[in-house]
Amino acid sequence: MPAVAQVLPLVTARGMPGALDYLDESLAPVGTVVQIDLGGRSVGGIVVGRLTESQWPVEKLKPVEEVEERSTTPELVELAQWMADDVASTTARALALVAPPAGKAKQRLWVRLADGLDPTTLTTEPAGPEVASDGDSAGRKTPKLSDAQRELIASLTESGPRAAGDELGRWRTLEKRGLVVVEVADERRRPAAHAVGASAKRVPPQTAEQTAALARINQVAEQPDGGALLLHGVTGSGKTEVYLRAAQATLDRGRTVLVLVPEIGLAPQIVHRFRERFGDVVAVMHSGLSAGQRRDEWWRVRSGEATIVVGARSAVFAPLDDVGLVVVDEEHDASFKAGEDPRYDARRVAAWRARHNHALLLCGSATPRPESLAALEVVRMTQRVDGRAMPPVEVVNMRGQSTPLHPTTREALVDARKSIVLLNRRGWSNFLECRECGHAWGCPNCDVTLVLHKRRGTMDCHHCGHVERVPSFCPACSSVSIAQHGIGTERLESELTQLGLPVMRVDADVSDPGEILARFGAAERAVLVGTQLVAKGHDFPDVELGVVLDADSTLRFPDLRAEERTFQLVTQLAGRAGRGGDGHGRVIVQTTNPQHGAIVAAANHDADGFLHEELARRKQFGYPPYSTLVKILVAHHDQVTARDLAREIAAPLAAARIGEVLGPAPLFRLKGKEREQILVKSPNRAAAVKAVRAALAPIEGKASRLRAQLVVDVAPQ
């Protein structure tokens, strides 16, 4: 009977065939990376199935060229196959996300004492073991060790094996005499860690709410099929402590733990707390790791050395075995959704893994998504651990105000010892205009204005990365009078500095946000200015004031989640103010829309009220979770081509009767491409995805010939 491996080639082009049969006598298990001959070309592939018989005659089958030593788990292979369908991608692209990283362990020369040596005899007296040279006339072998050599050996007895480093030559001399062994061994590349915020080393006694939450969590975790819970707890209610305890209980059951957090490089706190509590069994996975660090962490997980993974979006593909608990912290965060094909949602993948392993899915947030509230059993924590009330939120009306800071805000900032100011716009000013002729500086590739970055001396497009020098005169009329409209974090930083405040800024323009957050945490007096990064899951107990400038910026966004985002932003920031000390917490929200439902609900700390209203609104308009949206984007440098292609896709979709088909509708030009969008709104996700694939299939060849770009995004954010 032939041994047949079904191998999926890791070739990313669309329209590739599925798995192909190859002969493999080594019986490489599902998940193994192999090299195969594909039409005369040697390519990598992953074994996705094993057969004892192929549908093809044996003599037609080629043998696999090479079986590599690396493999991923069968669970992740199955996951990738499911995901490819779920998000309308290809299996090869999905498999690439779960494949074991290439590359080798970093190796180093290590020195240890030779076996059977008694170091004390070496370092105290001049008699030693068998040494070839230096024998005296009587034939007794005496190593003549210099003081420096003696010291080196003493250092080995103290520290244990150590890296040879700069002393390699001297170690080699000792090795020749049989005293030490110099050998090659792996060195682990550890992810860097910032120690930020509170310590979790000492396990605190539980609050009553934590006890109740954990009782339910453990109950569900021990059900034969697992289950799913939503931990809806206000900021500071001790959710992280609940995760830590639930993780411990999971390890005690002999199972493993997966913890997903948004953009970890920016919120290092939770990693720190897990590491502190559990030590080296915690592996860290996020996009900030070097390839080497990522590889080493992956293998620590794959080998079973690490049993807890804390990481951002892609950590959902960690090769853990027998996951018992999957935590999604800050489950409302948009960064869980991937921005590139495969456009998966890590929360959905996390739910798959929990179901597959009969594990507990535990989603936590102070501002959960309406979707989660509708779908999951809710466990509530309504009190802060420190027993203090949520800070009062003042909404100040900016209508008719000409300065970016309302006088109330300015005064509060000067008074507060430590504050956080949120402004969702990077740069100095977001719109330059000629005072004489009205010329506006726009991006040559996109229909957007350029943002002035004063310190760098550049005008940047935040959509395509186009950069140009700051103009000194108008190219249209040569006037030198140029107005700067709008305010970004850079200008705000400068204005606050002029008020004499010690300002720190965190946004995508600073190189190490984690380091700045750590400095802010340690500072006596400081203002932290930044984009929404500053409202994310870190815990600074002594912040007295939180300010949201321009709360309307998220509301202005034409998106079904505009309300939700605004509510979340204000609530998250409120959660970070007045958490410790004597509790003089205070929050100020600047808006031109003080009556807006999302802002009023946030000011009243009324998450339940907001969520129920939001769900009712979604239901009324048939938005998620009452439907699935599929977005199809066609991009081409020529508008007519883009529109014609989009129409060709939309026509069969409309005929497929899977729900509503909106568009094609033009979007603003981006990266030199005209864009047309089609939106499908369907009560049946699988049917919608299938219909979209069917509508795209006959167009794909033509689109690629025309060099048009097709993007499918299932359940876009």
Binding site for ligand ADP (CB under 6 A): 198, 200, 204-207, 210, 233, 235-241, 385, 539
Structure token digits, residue 285:
């996975």
Return the one option of Zn ion, ligand ADP, none that residue 240 interacts with (CB less than 5 to 8 A, by type). ligand ADP
Q: What distance in Å separates the CA atoms of residue 287 and residue 306, rounded to the nearest whole number?
A: 19
Instruction: Please say whether the beta carbons of 76 and 321 come within 8 A.
Output: no
Which residues inside 166-185 make contact with Zn ion, applying CB under 5 A? Answer: none
Spatial separation of the C-alpha atoms in residues 706 and 693, rounded to whole Å: 19
| Residue 112 sits in the site that holds Zn ion (CB under 5 A) | no
Residues 6+ apart with CB under 8 A from 624: 371, 560, 618, 715
Number of residues that bind Zn ion (CB under 5 A): 15
434 touching Zn ion, by CB under 5 A: yes
The entry of Zn ion, ligand ADP, none that residue 31 binds, CB within 5 to 8 Å by partner kind: none
Q: Rounded to the nearest whole angstrom, what is the least distance from the CB of residue 238 to ligand ADP in the complex? A: 3
Q: How far apart (Å, rounded) are the C-alpha atoms in residues 534 and 391?
A: 17
Note whether 51 binds Zn ion by CB under 5 A.
Answer: no
The interface partner of residue 479, options being Zn ion, ligand ADP, none and the CB cut-off 5 to 8 Å by kind, is: Zn ion
Report, in Å, the least distance between residue 675 CB and Zn ion. Answer: 13
**Per residue, what are the HEC states of 126-166?**
CCCCCCCCCECCCCCECCCCCHHHHHHHHHHHHHCCEECHH
Q: CA dist 390 to 235, 357, 420, Å?
A: 9, 38, 16
For residues 150 and 378, what is the distance between their CA atoms, to the nearest angstrom? 66
| 168-176 helix and 147-159 helix, angle to the nearest 10 degrees | 100
d(CA 710, CA 717): 18
User: Minimum Å distance from CB 539 to ligand ADP?
Assistant: 5
Residues 179, 446, 450, 599: which binds Zn ion (CB under 5 A)? 446
Q: Show the tokens assigned to 147.
A: 């003081």
Residue 27 binding: pick among Zn ion, ligand ADP, none (C-beta 5-8 Å cut-off by kind): none
In the list Zn ion, ligand ADP, none, the entry touching 539 (Cβ below 5 to 8 angstroms by class) is ligand ADP
What is the secondary structure of 273-317 as a DSSP string? HHHHHHGGGEEEE-TTS-HHHHHHHHHHHHTTS--EEEESGGGGG
Nearer to ligand ADP, 244 or 413 (CB): 244
Pick one of ligand ADP, Zn ion, none as the site partner of residue 313 (Cβ within 5 to 8 A by kind). Answer: none
Q: Are residues 114 and 183 in contact, defined by beta-carbon separation less than 8 angstroms? A: no
CB-CB contact of 535 with 515 (8 Å):
no
SS (H, E, C) 515-550: HHHHHHHHCCCEEEEECHHHHCCCCCCCCCEEEECC
Nearer to ligand ADP, 429 or 571 (CB): 571
Interface with Zn ion (CB under 5 A), residue from 466, 618, 673, 675: 466
Shorter beta-carbon distance to ligand ADP: residue 367 or 449: 367
Please identify, using beta-carbon distances, which residue of 302 and 462 lies nearer to Zn ion. 462
Q: In whole angstroms, how close is the CB of 699 to ligand ADP at the nearest point?
A: 47
Does 306 sit near Zn ion (CB under 5 A)? Answer: no
Q: How far apart are CA 465 and CA 307, in angstroms?
A: 40
**Least Å from the CB of residue 632 to ligand ADP:** 38
Pick between residue 227 and residue 238 the one whose CB is nearest to ligand ADP. Answer: 238
- The Cα–Cα gap between 263 and 537 comes to 10
Q: Any idea how long the chain is?
A: 717
Shortest Cβ distance from residue 437 to ligand ADP (Å)?
Answer: 52
Nearer to ligand ADP, 237 or 293 (CB): 237
Strands, DSSP E only, in 172-285?
Answer: 180-187, 227-233, 256-260, 282-285
DSSP structural state of residue 19? -
Least distance from ligand ADP to the Cβ atom of residue 6, Å: 45
- Report, in Å, the least distance between residue 402 CB and Zn ion: 23
Cβ atoms 427, 452 nearer than 8 A: yes
Of residues 370-429, those binding Zn ion (CB under 5 A): none
| Binding partner selected for residue 207 from ligand ADP, Zn ion, none, CB under the kind-specific 5 to 8 Å limit | ligand ADP
CB of 634 to ligand ADP, least distance (A): 43
> How far is C-alpha 533 from the chain's CA centre?
13
Q: What is the dihedral of CA 236, 238, 243, 248, to 10 degrees?
A: 150
For Zn ion, the closer CB: 485 or 584:
485
Piece in contact with Zn ion (CB under 5 A), picked from 294-302, 436-444, 517-525, 624-632: 436-444
The binder of 445, among Zn ion, ligand ADP, none, by C-beta within 5 to 8 A per type, is Zn ion
Is 150 or 671 the residue whose CB approaches Zn ion more closely?
671
- What is the phi/psi pair of residue 460, to 5°? -115, 145
Q: CB 162 → ligand ADP: shortest distance, Å?
A: 36
CB of 262 to ligand ADP, least distance (A): 13
Residue with Cβ nearer ligand ADP (191 or 238): 238
Instruction: Choose the one of ligand ADP, Zn ion, none that binds residue 241, judging by a C-beta under 5 to 8 angstroms depending on kind.
Output: ligand ADP
Residue 198 partner contact from ligand ADP, Zn ion, none using kind-dependent CB cut-offs of 5 to 8 Å: ligand ADP
Mask: binding to Zn ion, 469-488, rule CB under 5 A, as x and -? -----x-xx-x---------
Structure tokens at 650: 């939309």
Q: Report, in Å, the least distance between residue 66 CB and ligand ADP.
A: 48
What is the full DSSP assignment across 458-469? EEE-TTT--EEE
434's contact among Zn ion, ligand ADP, none, with CB below 5 to 8 A by partner kind, is Zn ion
Closest approach, Cβ 575 to ligand ADP, in A, equals 7
Asked if residue 186 lies in contact with residue 305, where contact means CB atoms within 8 angstroms, the answer is: no
Residues near Zn ion, by CB under 5 A: 434, 436-437, 439, 443, 445-446, 461, 463-464, 466, 474, 476-477, 479
